[in-house]
Amino acid sequence: MDEDEARRMIALLSPERMAPYLNRCAGNSVAAIRLYYWNIDVTRALQAHLPFFEPILRNSMAAQLATLTGRVDWWHAGALPLRKPEAARLDRALQACGPRQPSLRVGDVLTELSLGFWAALLGREYEMTLWRPALRHAFPEYRGARGPLHRDLHHLNRLRNRMAHHEPIHHRHLAADNEKIFLIMGYVSSFAATSVRANDRVPEELARKPKL
């Protein structure tokens, strides 16, 4: 792509959208488009982990909530000591299930709950009510305190949302982000983390990052 083509593409994408790329590339339009393409590629490589990471995480946490409440439908009103923000998220998820509500299965509900919901359940407000009696058991290979785990999962949720909205991630320490995914997955199951890592394309994409 030559300079004229790059400028035309930037105009189509919008200068506002391309500003982070142009700033990183000192205003070089061709380099900015090249970085934009690479941002897409590395995003895809990271997103490839999510169909494993998210279900493994939420299934493990949901199983502990079922044990804590003594009921498979742990989302039932009043079964959990949720704060208003998390209760609202759960209510929206149940509403999204629509006509399935009378015969909801665990999978129906889990599919509608975002990673942000699960990250929030590891917040300090739930130290005594959820973490200590239940959710710490969702991470059988983790021996640390709740706080660092909550921080890392919150960090990954922000990354996930940026990727979902096609936002720039090229400025992040992506190697560290990638390791966090495997680290947390490994806290639930080292087998799962090792298996998914075998198909990890992120290091390859990081090696291909355009020289600025």
DSSP three-state, residue 194 = helix
Residue 77: band (very low, low, confident or very high) from pLDDT cuts 50, 70, 90:
low
| pLDDT of res. 100 | 56
What span, in angstroms and rounded, lies between the C-alpha atoms of 83 and 124? 12
Mean pLDDT (the chain, rounded): 95
In which band, very low, low, confident or very high, does the pLDDT at 193 lie, cut at 50, 70 and 90?
very high
Q: Please state, in angstroms and rounded to a whole number, the distance separating the CA atoms of residues 38 and 87.
A: 39
Dihedral sign, Cα of residue 9, residue 11, residue 17, residue 19 = positive
Its pTM stands at 0.92
**pLDDT for 79:** 78
Q: Please compute the mean of the pLDDT values over residues 165-180 and round it to a whole number.
A: 97
Q: Give the pLDDT band (50/70/90) at residue 212.
A: confident
| Encoded tokens for 116 | 């942000």
How large is the average pLDDT for residues 94-102? Answer: 73
Q: List % helix, strand, coil for the chain (3-state, nearest 5).
A: 70, 0, 30
How would residue 95 be classed by pLDDT, with cut points 50, 70 and 90?
confident
Would you state the pLDDT for residue 127?
98
DSSP-derived letter for residue 123 is S
Confidence band (pLDDT; 50, 70, 90) for 98? confident
Distance CA 34, CA 29 (A): 9
Q: Which two tokens stand for residue 80?
A: 């959990």
- 166: Cβ contacts below 8 Å, ≥ 6 apart: 40, 43
> How far from 129 is each of 10, 83, 192, CA to CA, in Å?
51, 11, 28
Residue 90 to residues 51, 71, 98: CA-CA distances in angstroms?
21, 16, 13
User: Which token pair is 199?
Assistant: 């198909």
Residue closest to 87 by CA, chosen among 113, 59, 63:
113
Residue type at 132 in one-letter notation: R
Q: How far is CA 88 from CA 24, 82, 84, 91, 95, in A?
A: 39, 9, 6, 5, 10
Q: What angle do CA 146, 149, 150 make, to 5 degrees?
A: 80
